[in-house]
Amino acid sequence: MTDFKKDATELLKDVGGKENIAAVTHCATRMRFVLNDPSQADEKAIEKIPSVKGMFTQAGQFQVIIGNEVAMFYNEFAKISGVEGVSKDQAKVAAKQNLNPVQRAISVLAEIFTPLIPAIVVGGLILGFRNILDGIVFSGLGNQTIVEVSQFWSGVDSFLWLIGEAIFQFLPVGITWSISKKMGTTQILGIVLGITLVSPQLLNAYSVASTAAADIPYWNFGFFKIEMIGYQAQVIPAMLAGFLLCYLEIFFRKHIPQAVSMIFVPLFSLVPTVLAAHVILGPIGWKIGSFISDIVYSGLTSSFNWLFGALFGFLYAPLVITGLHHMTNAIDLQLIADFHGTNLWPMIALSNIAQGSAVLAVIFLHRGNKDEEQVSIPSVISCYLGVTEPAMFGINLKYIYPFVAAMIGSGIAGLVSTLFNVTANSVGVGGLPGILSIQLPYWGKYLLCMIIAIVVPFILTVVFRQRGILNKLDPAGTKGDEDIMEEINV
């Protein structure tokens, strides 16, 4: 068993001592600090600690990568520092002291959508598999689809839509639940609110455009009417309604006596919110969501879409560093609701691949460095499966030139992706498995984009190191540049 006493003592000193720690916790691989004064952390000294694999700051937390033994390191750190650990949620609350208003808004958005990602990923995989069953015409099957020649697979296709529909069309239920959970209010009220936005008695959102105004159902209150329109797959209407419900509940809990709060708090919170959702917030949210998705879609389909794709692909990784990438979840889901697919998400998956390929090049360049491989090899696997933070913060940002090489490769792949109008059915597993979420007509073109995202960052990483471009920390090794390039050519 590794003895972390010396390293933990050094880390305590380098983060500014016990008095500089507002809160500390850990996750699967990282120590997570909320520091009273982040500027007191001596990053250069921390980087030299043997147990430390990297560090970064995100969402107001100073995070130090330790690896799979982080739990043992944390226990030793707690003994030495005398600082009592907190839960992840408590750490997040404490971390907000280090965030500006924009960062706080992004943090809230992340906390809303993060719990929904597993379901959305599953939904994306299901839609991709259903596309194979009912979307591909096979010559060996007499130019028919699988569902047309097999009753079994036809049944599977129909059954899987039960799950796909629950995830995407009933997405507002998940959003309103997640908001109530994040705000610490009554979660069942959030669920009920979400159901009122997608109830079967409402006109399905997907049918509104094809329904004549005179045929739209409505509630008739005598002196006014409310259209019975659903908000299936709509993001912003659900968010607006969810926050209103939570703030009303918080307000009434403060002002209604405890003896009757169980009756009147839910009643006075839920009924006005549902009314406001269908009269004001829903229509306004729909227009806002459509406006945002129209702008993004216009950029992706205009004559300058190549520039949009190149810039988004190039800048997505820096967005991850700032946390702004969480905004793309809402945009992707809105694009899917409005246009039955998203051109944005394929570029996100390509950025994952590009960052992993840059690390792969670093592994090649630093082969034999066993200490670094403990970070680099797992991070490549993580990138290729859609999670880039270990690679970016553990390797690429440390040396800079691999990070830039990955950005360039991602930008080129994004440019090609938008030129070919590559479209995904939904958000899915990032990285290499991302192709499963791509609509079938674009598989070949997306495969080309994936090759670009693998090859370009790898070659550029090697060239940047060879030429000393953006590289001050990683001088050439024992082999000459000509030897390295010769091995690549072979």
Domains along the sequence of the chain with CATH? 5-97 (3.30.1360.60), 115-288 (no CATH), 302-489 (no CATH)
CA dihedral 310, 127, 170, 341 (to 10 degrees): 30
Residue 190 clears pLDDT 50, i.e. is over it? yes
Structure confidence at residue 322 (pLDDT): 59
What is the spatial distance between Cα 88 and Cα 86, in angstroms, rounded to a whole number?
Answer: 7
Q: What is the pLDDT of residues 62-93, one digit of tens each?
A: 888 887 788 889 989 988 988 876 555 555 66
Q: Which of 44-53, 301-310, 320-329, 462-471 has the lowest mean pLDDT?
A: 320-329
Q: Six-digit token pair at 10?
A: 């050094």
CB atoms closer than 10 angstroms to residue 371: 10
Are the CB atoms for 173 and 191 separated by under 8 Å? yes
Catalytic-labelled residue, pool 27, 246, 383, 449: 27
pLDDT in tens, 297-331: 888 878 888 898 999 999 888 877 655 666 777 78
Span 472-490, average pLDDT: 50
DSSP, residue by residue, 111-150: HHHGGGHHHHHHHHHHHHHHHHHHHPPBGGGTSB-HHHH-
pLDDT band at 174 (very low <50, low <70, confident <90, very high): very high
The reply to whether 27 belongs to the active site is yes
124-133, 342-351, 449-458: least confidently modelled range? 124-133
Q: Is the dihedral of CA 392, 397, 399, 405 positive or negative?
A: positive
**Quick one: pLDDT at residue 115?**
83
Report the length, in residues, of the chain.
490
Given pLDDT bands bounded at 50, 70 and 90, which one contains residue 472?
Answer: low
- Tens of pLDDT, residue by residue over 384-417, are 887 777 788 778 887 889 999 999 999 999 999 9
Model confidence at 277, in pLDDT bands (50, 70, 90)?
very high
pLDDT of residue 490: 38
pLDDT on residue 168: 80
Percent of the chain with pLDDT over 90: 36
pLDDT at 1 over 70: no
> 203-224: buried (b, 16+ CB within 10 Å) or exposed (e) per residue?
bebeebeeeeeeeeeeeeeeee
Whole-number pLDDT of residue 188: 95
Residue 166 has pLDDT above 80, yes or no: yes
| pLDDT score of 178 | 92
Confidence of residue 238 (pLDDT cuts 50, 70, 90): very high
Q: Supply the pLDDT for residue 95.
A: 55
